A and B are shown apart, each in its own frame.
Chain A
Amino acid sequence: MAEPRVLVLGVGNILLCDEGFGVAAVNRLEQDYSWPDNVRLLDGGTLGLFLMPDIMDADLLVVLDVVLGPGAPGTIYLLEGEDLRKSLSFRDSTHQTDLVDTLISCGLAGHRPETFIIGIQPGDWQTLSPELTPELAAKLPEFCAKVVAELARRGITATPRASA
């Protein structure tokens, strides 16, 4: 059994405060941990169909993004399986297609990886600024630790770097 190809994909717009949290998180994960060869970390920015090549090359896709849920800013969510399929939409998406549609398109084109999303409730996602809000910036280490723990449950081990 070959090792699964894992893609950890941080998405969002880094120009709109917390909207860029997913990208900040994937960069932090790359900086603070060393990863096995079968794991790729990618800053996916605000793309839709352009992400298909990378998504279709993966067996397991982990999306890091901001999610509007019922909780207070900084609440961290896990969305998987049917949750993803049925009840998500992207508000004001600038994707040609939103991420869920992109996943469906991957399926139509031949391969849709197993996917889960680790999301965080944003504080401000509308003000134009390349900085996260302080409360979400403070959440980065905890968020990354949860991503690492979630992957560890699936047998994928990341090692903290000495400098982190």
Chain B
Amino acid sequence: MSQVIKAPQSTYTGQVVVDPLTRIEGHLRIEAEVENGKIKEARCVGTLFRGLEIILKGRNPFDAPHFTQRTCGVCTYSHSLASTRAVEDAINKPIPANATYLRNLVLSMLYLHDHLVHFYALHALDFVDVVNALQGDPVKAAQIANSISNRKVTPDDYRAVQAKLKAFVDSGQLGPFTNAYFLGNHPAYHLSPELNLIGTADYLAALRVQVKAARAMAVFGAKNPHTQFTVPGGVTNYGALTPERIKEFTDLYKETLTFIEDYYIPDLLAIASQYKECATYGGTRNFMAFGEFPDPGCERDLQKRWLRPGVILDRKIGKVRDMDPNRIAEGVAHSWYVGDKARHPYEGETEPYFTKMGDKDKYSWLKAPRYDGIAVETGPLAQVLVSYAQEHRTIKPMVDKVLGALQIGPEALFSTLGRTAARGIEALAVGQQVETWIKQYQHNITKDQQIVENYEPPKSARGVGFVNAPRGGLSHWIVTDDDARIANFQLVVPTTWNLSPRDAKNVPSACEEALVGTPVADPARPVEILRVVHSFDPCIACAVHVIDGETNQVHKFKVL
């Protein structure tokens, strides 16, 4: 029985603002009212305006994937797939089986890449004190690492990491660790120096492995970033039919999966076992998953997906409801847009109306999507809970195993720790399924080489594309006019579900709810807020990234 460490407490009362919240995609501000060391209420503020819908109007529907995948630097493929499926839904015709196989394979690599990078590069620094790793005993660390997994590491491996880390810290150029909350010790960080050393070593290893996952996507995706192979009607990557490409993909995928099995999951369990207080806060009540990885020939039938869709209300795992797309509506009562009534995405409007930053009434550039009027959480935890409740063959035993290893019950899943564990479970489950999909695909192309159907852009049609992206339920909604041009296009993205502002009934979003009750030990370095918010893997897709030379340092610009 591992010892449960009590979360450090404070008696602080007042406001805590985190802006910008780093190590996420995009720009986010969190405003929290703290009372006696615990968060009483919170607001998530999306600080960048997105209005992609505005520039899509009047364009050819087939161009939508190229535009939508540029909204963001990480979920590019999820967006291009959602747009493609939306257009295909409007066309209402099937696509070749091979297209679904290849889309699934690329999407599965996105899952592995995204979850791996999220755990190590974005989330681990909320738990792992990198500087303290310098105090770790390499011999003890190697013993621990080899005892928790199949990896074979030596004390020298860890000595090398310490040497590299020391040079890095001494250089004064901390890069990703700049302003990290663990600098100068923090009471809420409490891994042993050895676990900090293992975590840091694997942070570095993960940087190398994620390169393989990104390459695997490019092998079938023509290129990555911004894959170029999905078109309404199928895919265009004829190279993916060759044995050379399939082998290249398979090798890269296996290397990534091995890392997930031998490093990511054991590290997740080792770190989680030391942070069990994170199983007591950060939970929500309602969950929605779109399901993913369609059976070939059933690209748009949500019921024919390897992970099935579903909705869970009020934590009632015994009662999974069907996900009904007609119950989705977006409100803007507390967002910087004109309007007051919640609208279905087909009728969605995007008319900006900014008041001021720090306003308590209208306070975010995100709209407030709701399912049947209810604020739901989406993402790995929602999908894993739905699949667990449906007794999914792969997911259920994995969840039971993780709960057993951590000696916690299913109720602990409704927390920051549960959300983080679910992401690992989802990565492992999808990763282990890829081999089956590759085999099925290889078998299929011995008799069928078709990868695309040529269709015309649809006139006067409506369609929706559902993708259960690594970050959660993503949907694109398209309406076309009689010239087959885009009349309306709405994107409802996972982070909008999770981090939206309050709705017209003043009900907070999933993340706003999850923050309530979260302890804040040090108001100047509210790492607990980061733990909760990062566990949602937010992505405020908007992608502005100007190099800003106006920093505090004296700087000479050389004009060419």
A residues bordering B, Cβ < 8 Å? 11-16, 19, 43-53, 56, 65-71, 75-80, 83, 85-101, 104-105, 108-110, 117-119, 122, 125-126, 128-130, 146, 150
Contacts and interface: CB of A to CB of B under 8 A. Distances in A.
A134 B176 CA distance: 37
Contact of A150 (B73, B204, B225, B560): B560
Contacts of B163: none
Given A15-B55, A85-B173, A90 B211 contact: no
Given A46-B72, A50-B73, A94-B72, A77 B558 contact: yes
Contact of B164 (A69, A108, A128): A108
Contacts of B226: 43, 45, 47
B546 A125 contact: yes
- The interface centre, meaning the residue of B48, B73, B121, B558 with most chain A CB atoms within 10 A of its CB, is B73
A125 B544 CA distance: 8
A5 to B, nearest CB: 16
Given A47-B76, A128-B52, A146-B560, 8 more contacts: A46-B72, A46-B225, A49-B210, A66-B547, A77-B557, A92-B27, A94-B543, A96-B74
Interface stretch (B18-26, B90-98, B241-249, B311-319): B18-26
Given A66-B546, A94-B73, A105-B176, A118 B560 contact: yes
A104 B173 contact: yes
A52 B74 CA distance: 13
A159 B347 CA distance: 52
Interface string B201-238: 00010011011001100100000111000000000000
B546 A105 contact: no
A19 B548 CA distance: 12
Contacts of A80: 558
B71 interface: yes
Interface residues of B, number: 58
Nearest to A94: B543
Contacts of B225: 43-47, 50-51
Nearest to B175: A104
A89 B548 contact: yes
B4 interface: no
B544 A94 contact: yes
A145 B549 CA distance: 23
A91 B218 CA distance: 28
B547 A67 contact: yes
B372 to A, nearest CB: 31
Give the 3 A-B residue pairs with the shortest CB-CB distance, closest first: A104-B175, A46-B543, A46-B73
A15 B543 contact: yes
Nearest to A130: B55
B6 interface: no
Contact of A88 (B25, B26, B71, B547): B547
26 contacts: A11-B545, A43-B226, A45-B70, A46-B543, A48-B73, A49-B117, A49-B121, A52-B210, A67-B549, A68-B547, A69-B549, A70-B549, A75-B559, A80-B558, A87-B551, A87-B553, A88-B551, A91-B546, A96-B122, A101-B176, A105-B121, A108-B175, A109-B204, A109-B208, A129-B55, A146-B560
A128 B546 CA distance: 15
A57 B547 CA distance: 23
A87 B547 CA distance: 10
A94 B26 contact: yes
A146 B560 CA distance: 8
Contacts of A146: 560
Given A11-B545, A150-B560, A108 B204 contact: yes
A14 B76 CA distance: 13
B423 to A, nearest CB: 15
Contacts of A108: 164, 168, 175, 204, 207
A49 B215 CA distance: 12
A50 B23 contact: no
Contacts of A67: 546-547, 549, 557
Interface in B40-84: 48-49, 51-52, 54-55, 67, 70-74, 76
B25 A95 contact: yes
Nearest to B208: A109
Contacts of A99: 545, 547
B214 A53 contact: yes
A86 B553 contact: yes
Contacts of A75: 559
A16 B25 CA distance: 17
- The interface centre, meaning the residue of B26, B545, B551, B555 with most chain A CB atoms within 10 A of its CB, is B545
Interface string B397-410: 00000000000000
Contact of B211 (A45, A53, A68): A53
